[in-house]
């Protein structure tokens, strides 16, 4: 099989509303077959980006390619292969769940009418709404509407499924089911583009991640690349009198003790007989086996009482990239 | 969770459908909706109320055209009811349907899903407009048919004397009633196009409905003022009450043609405006 074109590619994608730049020069690259987690806090431009990908909004600048076709010129032929849940479900409250799906399916000129009933039933079954399919959507809970929205994306076999905050309003059980559904879609080769403001919800199922902040794509890559990107830290606990010796021993290895523990090391030198432990911390260079460090310390006569090398969790990297707190970045 | 999904090539239709299925689905959504049914019910109530009132009071006194003829011939109930409904009731219901067409989809959030399903934007406008036209016809036919039924129940039915003095039998009279319904519906088509355009401007359906009804009322107010006489032939309501020509023998088609051309002009202008507005609009609802 020849290399499939990227499922989604954008270059310099920009959207301005008046003077406000909502999406700013985004270069997305979503490989075919990936489960791409599109992360970012509220107001970071995720949904606007998705709207541009699907031809709902016009890009102010930049180019979009979806499934190898330039958008928005080829919307009519590309969109039948794309299933989407965009900014929450949207349904006619006065129609039943099944009637709503049939209605949206009728709007798709490529969806054969003969199989509509079967496909609607299958889609409802996949999201666990078979029992509620005949009920009016007015009577649905938020979680049920969300499931119906996902069912709509599954009405036809798709090459690409775009899910904007799919776990919104779902209980933990529903969230697990959505994850399972996404995995099963991915296992059939469907590219899944899933946005979320919660890393934890999608971390486990994504192969790729893109992080938005203030309209910019601040990081993008495979999940392992992003995980490795963070700086590891060496935490060392030594007998207090040996602290200075430890600092000196570590220096040739390229480990510079920079933490607040360092002044204590100076103090320890003044009072060599002081009892207790001293904690040291230092950025830990990549590629250096921790056991070498321990061997060097022990060889130099440092009484090592504890050692650990911490890699930041993806969560920490995510927070570092997107900024902490509730402030919406403008 | 089935993992045996057939590939896209095997289940997609070989050709893109023209959109008849979507049109039928649109009509289904429109007429299955309680609000539409309630509006048609209210329209049907107009001739029934007129018929009952005349039956009870004997039909003396002043009133709209044809009112005095009802007690002799029940076939006039439908026509009287149309005359009564034309200034407000019919434009009101058409305003609701046309004003809701795009803005209503936007407010329920279904517009974005229709567009990515995908239905092309032009196709969506055409289908919305076509179903509004179907509603215009359904509305006037509802008034006519309810009137004919109420008239048949409460009054004698017989040959109708036309305005030209000729008398036609009941079958011919029913055909004329149908023709008048089509004429009145045709007169509302321009308003439907205006409503469609207003509907593309906003995500608030109630605003679009109200604005469309205001246009209908404004048009009639301007049509009453002699100071705006130059404008009169261009107002969408100009031909609304001119269906008397259809009650002559032979039929004088000039007002029908005039109505048709005027409405066609409104459809062309506001259809183009709707397209210009909607084809490139950012759908953010």
ipTM at complex level: 0.87
B142 or A328, which is more confident?
B142
Assess A188–B contact: CB distance below 8 Å, yes or no.
Answer: yes
Q: How many CA atoms lie within 13 A of B260 on its CB side?
A: 7
Sheet harboring A277-284: ordered strands across?
A277-284, A232-239, A304-310
Architecture of domain A8-228: 3-Layer(aba) Sandwich (3.40)
Strands A216-222 and A208-213: antiparallel
* Dist. CA A311–CA A225, nearest whole Å: 13
A68 three-state secondary structure: coil
Confidence of residue A270 (pLDDT cuts 50, 70, 90): very low
Those of residues 128-167 in A touching chain B at CB distance below 8 A are: 152, 156-159
From A202, A235, A222, A223, select the one nearest A311 (Cα to Cα): A235
* Dist. CA A282–CA A89, nearest whole Å: 48
A260 or B180, which is more confident?
B180
- A–B CB contacts, 8 A cutoff, strictly below: 124
Give the pLDDT score at B1: 38
Residue B285 domain-assigned (yes or no): no
Residue B9 domain-assigned (yes or no): no
Query: In this model, does residue A159 exceed pLDDT 50?
Result: yes
Give the pLDDT score at B2: 39
* Dist. CA A30–CA A12, nearest whole Å: 15
Query: In this model, does residue A75 exceed pLDDT 50?
Result: yes
* Dist. CA A227–CA B214, nearest whole Å: 61
Give the pLDDT score at B72: 85
Helices and strands counted in chain B (H then E): 10, 2
From B242, B241, B220, select the one nearest B232 (Cα to Cα): B220
- Residue range(s) defining the domain that contains residue B116: 18-278
Residues in a beta bridge with A9: A29, A65
Residue B11 domain-assigned (yes or no): no
**What is the DSSP code string of B183-247?**
HHHHHHHHHHHHHHHHHHH-S-HHHHHHHHHHHHHHHHHHHH-GGGTTTGGGSTTTTTT-GGGGG
* Dist. CA B279–CA B285, nearest whole Å: 15
Nearest CA in chain A to B105: A92
Give residues with Cβ within 8 angstroms of A21, minimum separation 6.
Answer: A14, A15, A215
Cβ contact, residue pair A106, B113, below 8 Å = no
Cβ contact, residue pair B109, A157, below 8 Å = no
- Residue A15 near residue A45, CB atoms below 8 Å: yes
Query: In this model, does residue A329 exceed pLDDT 60?
Result: no
Phi and psi torsions of A13, nearest 5°: -65, 125
Residue B174 domain-assigned (yes or no): yes
- For residue B173, give Cα distances in angstroms to B64, B73, B161, B180, B182: 20, 11, 9, 10, 14
Residue B284 domain-assigned (yes or no): no
Confidence of residue A262 (pLDDT cuts 50, 70, 90): very low
Share above pLDDT 70 across residues of chain A, in percent, rounded to a whole number: 90
Cβ contact, residue pair B108, A106, below 8 Å = no
Give residues with Cβ within 8 angstroms of A324, minimum separation 6.
Answer: none
Cβ contact, residue pair A126, B1, below 8 Å = yes
Task: For residue B125, give how far its alpha carbon lies from the nearest alpha carbon of chain A (Å).
Answer: 13
Residue B4 domain-assigned (yes or no): no
Give the pLDDT score at A324: 57
Mean pLDDT of A151-164: 94
Q: Where in chain A are all domains bearing CATH 3.30.70?
A: 231-310
* Dist. CA A65–CA A9, nearest whole Å: 5
* Dist. CA A191–CA A52, nearest whole Å: 18
* Dist. CA A235–CA A199, nearest whole Å: 26
Class of CATH domain A231-310: alpha beta
Residue B12 domain-assigned (yes or no): no
Give the pLDDT score at A285: 82
Query: In this model, does residue A211 exceed pLDDT 80?
Result: yes
Q: Which residues in chain A are closer than 8 Å to B16, comparing Cβ atoms?
A: 76, 109-110
From B118, B97, B98, B103, select the one nearest B281 (Cα to Cα): B103
Q: Where in chain A are all domains bearing CATH 3.40.50.300?
A: 8-228
Q: Which residues in chain B are closer than 8 Å to A156, comparing Cβ atoms?
A: 8, 11-12
Going through chain A in order, the beta strands assigned E by DSSP cover 8-17, 20-26, 29-30, 35-39, 61-66, 69-71, 82-85, 160-164, 191-196, 208-213, 216-222, 232-239, 277-284, 304-310
User: How distant is the alpha carbon of residue B103 from its chain centre?
Assistant: 18
* Dist. CA B44–CA B32, nearest whole Å: 17
Nearest CA in chain A to B283: A56
Average pLDDT, consecutive stretches of 10 residues, N- to C-terminus, chain B (285 residues): 43 77 94 96 96 84 76 90 95 97 95 93 96 98 96 92 88 93 97 98 96 97 93 94 88 92 97 95 89
pLDDT tens track for A113-139 = 899 999 999 999 999 999 999 999 999
First to last CA, chain B: 32
Which two structure tokens, joined as six digits, stand for A258? 């920079």
Number of domains in chain B: 1
Peptide bond into A72 cis (omega under 30): yes
Going through A44-179 in order, the beta strands assigned E by DSSP cover 61-66, 69-71, 82-85, 160-164
Give the pLDDT score at A3: 60
Residue B13 domain-assigned (yes or no): no
């Amino acid at each position: 099989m020849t290399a499939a074109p990227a499922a989604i590619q954008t270059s310099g994608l920009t959207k301005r509303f008046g003077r406000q730049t909502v999406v700013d020069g985004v270069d997305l690259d979503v490989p075919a077959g990936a489960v791409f987690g599109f992360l970012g806090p509220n107001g970071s431009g995720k949904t606007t980006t998705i709207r541009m990908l699907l031809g709902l909004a016009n890009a102010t600048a930049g180019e979009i390619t979806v499934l190898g076709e330039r958008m928005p010129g080829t919307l009519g032929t590309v969109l039948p292969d794309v299933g989407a849940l965009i900014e929450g479900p949207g349904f006619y409250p006065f129609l039943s769940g099944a009637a709503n799906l049939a209605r949206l399916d009728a709007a798709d000129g490529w969806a054969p009418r003969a199989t509509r009933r079967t496909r609607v039933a299958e889609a409802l079954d996949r999201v666990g709404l078979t029992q509620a399919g005949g009920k009016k959507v007015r009577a649905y809970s938020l979680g049920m509407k969300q499931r119906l929205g996902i069912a709509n994306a599954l009405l036809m076999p798709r090459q690409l499924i775009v899910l904007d905050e799919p776990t919104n309003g779902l209980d933990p059980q529903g969230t697990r089911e959505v994850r399972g559904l996404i995995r099963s879609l991915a296992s059939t080769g469907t590219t899944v583009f899933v946005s979320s403001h919660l890393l934890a919800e999608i971390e486990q199922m994504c192969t790729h991640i893109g992080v938005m902040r203030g309209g910019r794509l601040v990081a993008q890559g495979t999940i392992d690349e992003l995980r490795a990107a963070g700086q590891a830290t060496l935490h060392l606990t030594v007998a207090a009198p040996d602290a200075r010796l430890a600092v000196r021993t570590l220096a040739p290895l390229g480990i510079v003790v920079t933490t607040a523990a360092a002044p204590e090391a100076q103090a320890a030198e003044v009072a060599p007989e002081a009892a207790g432990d001293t904690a040291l911390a230092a950025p830990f260079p990549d590629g250096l086996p921790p056991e070498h460090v321990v061997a060097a310390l022990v060889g130099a006569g440092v009484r090592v009482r504890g050692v650990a090398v911490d890699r930041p969790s993806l969560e920490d990297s995510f927070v570092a990239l997107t900024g902490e707190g509730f402030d919406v970045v403008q | 969770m089935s993992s045996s999904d057939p590939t896209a090539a095997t289940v997609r239709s070989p050709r893109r459908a023209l959109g008849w299925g979507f049109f039928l689905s649109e009509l289904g959504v429109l007429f299955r909706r309680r609000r539409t049914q309630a509006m048609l019910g209210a329209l049907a109530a107009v001739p029934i109320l007129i018929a009952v009132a005349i039956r009870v009071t004997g039909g003396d006194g002043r009133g709209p055209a044809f009112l005095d003829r009802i007690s002799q011939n029940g076939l006039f109930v439908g026509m009287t009811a149309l005359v009564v409904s034309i200034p407000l009731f019919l434009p009101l219901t058409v305003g609701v349907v046309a004003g809701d067409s795009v803005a209503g989809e936007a407010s329920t959030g279904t517009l974005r899903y229709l567009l990515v399903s995908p239905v092309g934007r032009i196709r969506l406008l055409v289908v919305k407009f076509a179903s509004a036209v179907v509603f215009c016809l359904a509305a006037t036919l509802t008034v006519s048919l309810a009137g004919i039924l109420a008239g048949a129940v409460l009054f004698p039915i017989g040959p109708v004397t036309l305005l030209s003095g000729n008398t036609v039998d009941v079958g011919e009279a029913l055909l004329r009633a149908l023709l008048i319904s089509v004429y009145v519906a045709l007169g509302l088509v321009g308003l439907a196009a205006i409503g469609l355009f207003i509907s593309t401007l906003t995500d608030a359906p109630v605003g679009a409905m109200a604005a469309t009804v205001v246009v209908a009322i404004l048009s009639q107010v301007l049509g009453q003022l002699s100071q705006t006489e130059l404008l009169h032939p261009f107002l969408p309501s100009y031909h609304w009450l001119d269906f008397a020509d259809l009650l002559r023998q032979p039929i004088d088609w000039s007002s029908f043609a005039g109505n048709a051309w005027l409405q066609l002009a409104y459809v062309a202008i506001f259809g183009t405006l709707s397209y210009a507005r909607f084809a490139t609009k950012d759908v953010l609802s």
